[in-house]
Amino acid sequence: MSEDILREGLRIQSVFKDEHTLDLSYIPPHLPHREYEYKILARVFRPLLDNPGSMASKATIIGSTGVGKTVLARRFCNDLEKMCKDRGIKLYSIYVNAQEFRGSPHMILTEISSKIIPNFPSRGFSSEEILSFILKALEDRDCYLLLALDEAEALLSPRGLKLLANLSRLYEASMGLKQRVHMILIVRDPKALRSLSVPVLETLQGYVLDLHSYSRSEIYDIVKYRADLAFKHGAISDEALKLITDICVSSSNIRWAVELLLKAGRYADSMGSRMVLPIHIRAVQQSVVYSMIPVRDSLRNLSDHELLLLLAVARISQFSPEEAYFPTGRVEEAYRVVCEEYSLEPKKHTQVWSYVKTLSTVGLLEIKPSSVGYRGKTTLIGLPIQPELIARSIEEELSRRSFRYG
């Protein structure tokens, strides 16, 4: 029986062209709106191509979560390694997330050595000895190392600071030796590095790239680009792309956008839909955006008319899955219908608008001004929760309050 279910599932036509491109570990071939920063990295590390060993190139990438620090570093490192290979330069490009190794210098150096020295033992040597083995291996093989050290904040313990200090001073006393270790530090907050002494900080951080948060239009471009990589042509609506942009614009977190694309695509497949629509985005939004709303607890604190207004938005969202937002007039019309269903006199426009603002404040509705395509100026109202879920919860709450159909 389970095999039959599996076969049936595999026969369902998918919206995906290449689902793998939405894995968070995937490094896309192009990074929209990070071309300028990429060019700066190319300039900083140019000596490695033009005159290998002449100097140790270093850069520090700073930015909040989801603005592309890691993907920029990894894309650049991969490209530089390939270019070095084409020019006959032996370069090990190694990415290490310091947090994954709990900020342990020994574990980090062991990881690096395992990529350079085959069958290197994981025990029996101090951090200083492992670092010396790495340097000797590079010298013996006439190789270079580009180390991308992510979440470098994890190294701000006394042991970690010692490693950073050692890395910063590798070539201070060298006479005629080629400088073989190049580094990219990746940190979320520049304040995290203030515990380093000024000389160490100056020699360690090199060129500092402070990544700006993405604008709304930039987020949309990136979302569309990632969707084009992942989905079949025409398998995701522009309204869905705009909705993802709206969800992510406040945080500028592209990780959320990628996860929303992946989970919404899978949800659309499970529902047998041939297109990803706003309703599919709403269905998975709460599992991705980590400030989840405790829906049932929130509903208990709402007035009867706030519940009825929210139910109205949920119902038109159900009946119009291709739309993400609805004009105020349409919402008020649906609200009046729901009031009639529950035998209550609907409130006037001013009071309804007050309810809308209250519900948006607590995160149960989203509001935004209208754009091109609407006559005049109006406010658009959206539901950041799966409409079936919220509608069912509201009806249960109204029933608990002893409402009956008129």
Question: Which two three-digit tokens encode residue 187?
Answer: 């940190």
- Given 288, 322, 338, the domain boundary residue is 288
Whether 15 is in a domain gets the answer no
How many whole angstroms separate alpha carbon 106 and alpha carbon 287? Answer: 36
Quick one: the chain helix, strand, coil %, rounded to 5? 55, 10, 35
265 φ/ψ angles, rounded to the nearest 5 degrees: -60, -45
Are 258 and 368 members of one domain? no
Give Cα separations from 138 to 135, 192, 339 (angstroms): 5, 31, 76
- Given 238, 267, 288, the domain boundary residue is 288
Provide the CATH number for the domain around residue 318.
1.10.10.10
Provide the CATH number for the domain around residue 119.
3.40.50.300
Are 186 and 247 members of one domain? no
Are 125 and 230 members of one domain? no
Are 74 and 100 members of one domain? yes
Give Cα separations from 217 to 91, 221, 248, 323 (angstroms): 37, 6, 12, 20
Are 177 and 46 members of one domain? yes
Are 381 and 354 members of one domain? yes
CB neighbourhood size of 249 (10 A): 18
How many whole angstroms separate alpha carbon 133 and alpha carbon 127? Answer: 10
- Given 253, 288, 323, the domain boundary residue is 288
Whether 5 is in a domain gets the answer no
Whether 22 is in a domain gets the answer no
How many whole angstroms separate alpha carbon 33 and alpha carbon 36? Answer: 7
pTM of the model: 0.77
pLDDT score recorded for residue 330: 95
| SS3 readout for 281-311 | HHHHHHHHCCCCCCHHHHHHCCCHHHHHHHH
pLDDT score recorded for residue 406: 47
pLDDT score recorded for residue 13: 87
Are 55 and 155 members of one domain? yes
Are 201 and 264 members of one domain? no
Whether 49 is in a domain gets the answer yes
Per the rule left: phi > 0, alpha: psi between -120 and 50, beta: everything else, 88 is left
Are 191 and 73 members of one domain? yes
Provide the CATH number for the domain around residue 249.
1.10.8.60
Give Cα separations from 282 to 28, 126, 279 (angstroms): 26, 52, 5
Taking only the tens of pLDDT, the chain with its 406 residues reads: 555 555 555 567 899 999 999 998 999 999 999 999 999 999 999 999 999 999 999 999 999 888 999 999 999 999 999 999 999 999 999 999 998 888 899 999 999 999 999 888 878 899 999 999 999 999 999 999 999 999 888 887 778 888 888 887 787 766 678 999 999 999 987 777 766 777 767 767 789 999 999 999 999 999 999 999 999 999 999 999 999 999 898 788 899 999 999 999 999 999 999 999 999 999 898 777 544 345 666 788 889 999 999 999 999 999 998 899 999 999 999 999 999 999 999 999 999 999 999 898 777 898 988 765 555 578 899 998 888 888 988 998 998 887 554 4
DSSP single-letter state for residue 190:
G
Question: Which two three-digit tokens encode residue 80?
Answer: 């530089």
Whether 405 is in a domain gets the answer no
Question: Which two three-digit tokens encode residue 304?
Answer: 């009867």
Are 54 and 180 members of one domain? yes
- Side-chain half-sphere of 211: how many Cα atoms within 13 Å? 29
Are 85 and 124 members of one domain? yes
Residue with tokens 């290490």: 96
400 φ/ψ angles, rounded to the nearest 5 degrees: -65, -30
How many whole angstroms separate alpha carbon 152 and alpha carbon 147? Answer: 12
Domain that holds residue 352: 295-400
Burial class (CB in 10 A: 0-12, 13-18, 19+), 384: buried
Whether 2 is in a domain gets the answer no
Sign for the CA dihedral angle at 190, 111, 169, 51 comes to negative
pLDDT score recorded for residue 146: 97
Whether 383 is in a domain gets the answer yes
Number of domains in the chain: 3
Are 89 and 120 members of one domain? yes
Whether 92 is in a domain gets the answer yes
At residue 236, the 3 state secondary structure works out as strand
How many whole angstroms separate alpha carbon 256 and alpha carbon 240? Answer: 14
pLDDT score recorded for residue 374: 54
Question: Which two three-digit tokens encode residue 48?
Answer: 């490695």
CB neighbourhood size of 158 (10 A): 7
16 φ/ψ angles, rounded to the nearest 5 degrees: -85, 145
In sequence order, what are the beta bridge partners of 146? Answer: 93, 182
